[in-house]
Structure 1
């Protein structure tokens, strides 16, 4: 058996269990990733963190003004100091974030999916207030991206029940 025949055979053999379990790619035609794209209107952002979250959600889910479903959310963040030097200076800060979200069918007002996601990120402080502020902002942006990606994953996994 030649090398290319062997690879084709092994690829086919590896795909066999996936076909047997009903595996469908998320973004395949008819997949849940495409079923919810452009079908969710997002609540308007009020704060910078809201804007970062909504921006990432729109990148992943599409941007639409009128849609059959509405996604509302609530963001909570907190901070904790991780590393303190001998001189009592804070060297590292964790930012924890939680987003509670609800998908509501616009026509009926029925909640079709709710959930909560959470994660954290960190940043290093420095003697420069400007660089510390920039690092904090970057960490907040990364936090919102991670939370938005978790929301999208949950929406896609639950979309078969309501979309």
Structure 2
């Protein structure tokens, strides 16, 4: 590494330390403080099962719940691809999750927000393949939405001391 590169890295690290940056999963970080402490609302169907599983993977299994995460999922499916015969062969799925993180002890809402994203899948004509592609698309969408929820929670929530 050249001395110019070393200086740039050192200056960047000093500037980063001075701005109050705390790694999300480092000591004192929000991610570390939430690990094992979030009670995620029970799933009510396949989509919420996929969403809650991803959130459990990220927050960790609940040991001593201090916070409650509730959510409401809405999805909409639209056809976006047609064959010359007029058959639909591509679908677009939009999903939105409205979610609330609250303190269990006080009932105080720490974050009330929503996030949206989309994915798509192809319908090949074979019903088994199409069903598999559909399920995979919804699972991918729930993974994307859970990751966005986690990022927003870690970036914006100020936990009580």
Normalization by structure 2: what TM-score?
Answer: 0.92
Of 141, 152, 155, the residue aligned with 1:154 is 152
Residue number in structure 2 paired with 1:57: 55
Secondary structure of the 1:160 match is coil
Tell me the distance in 1 between the aligned counterparts of 2:16 and 2:64.
37
Give how far 1:9 is off. Answer: 2.2
Aligned equivalents of 1:162, 1:139: Cα separation in 2: 37
* Aligned pairs, number: 161
- Name the structure 1 match of 2:20: 22
- 1:44 is aligned, of 42, 45, 51, to 42
SS of the residue 1:7 aligns to: helix
Tell me which moved more, 141-150 or 9-18: 9-18
**Aligned residue among 77, 85, 89 for 2:75:** 77
Structure 2 residue aligned with 1:120:
118
Q: Distance in 1 between matches of 2:25 and 2:64?
A: 22
Structure 2 gaps, min length 5? none
SS in 1 for 2:73: strand
Tell me the distance in 2 between the aligned counterparts of 1:160 and 1:110.
Answer: 12
Shift, 1:162, TM fit: 4.1
Q: Which runs of structure 1 show a deviation greater than 6 angstroms over 4 or more consecutive aligned residues?
A: none
Query: Residue 95 of structure 2 contacts residue 118 of structure 2 at CA under 8 Å; is this kept in 1?
Result: yes
Deviations for 1:53-92, whole angstroms, at most 9, x for unmatched residues?
0000011111116411111111101100011111011111
C-alpha offsets along residues 28-55 of structure 1, whole Å, 9 cap, x if unaligned? 1111111111111011111011110000
The answer to whether the Cα contact below 8 Å between 1:36 and 1:159 also exists between their aligned partners in 2 is no
Give the structure 2 partner of residue 91 of structure 1: 89
Instruction: Please state how far the C-alpha of 1:14 moved relative to its aligned partner.
Output: 2.7
Which residue of 6, 9, 24 maps to 1:8? 6
Q: TM-score, normalised by structure 1?
A: 0.91
Alignment gaps of 5+ in structure 1: none
Residue 66 of structure 2: which of 62, 65, 68 is its match?
Answer: 68
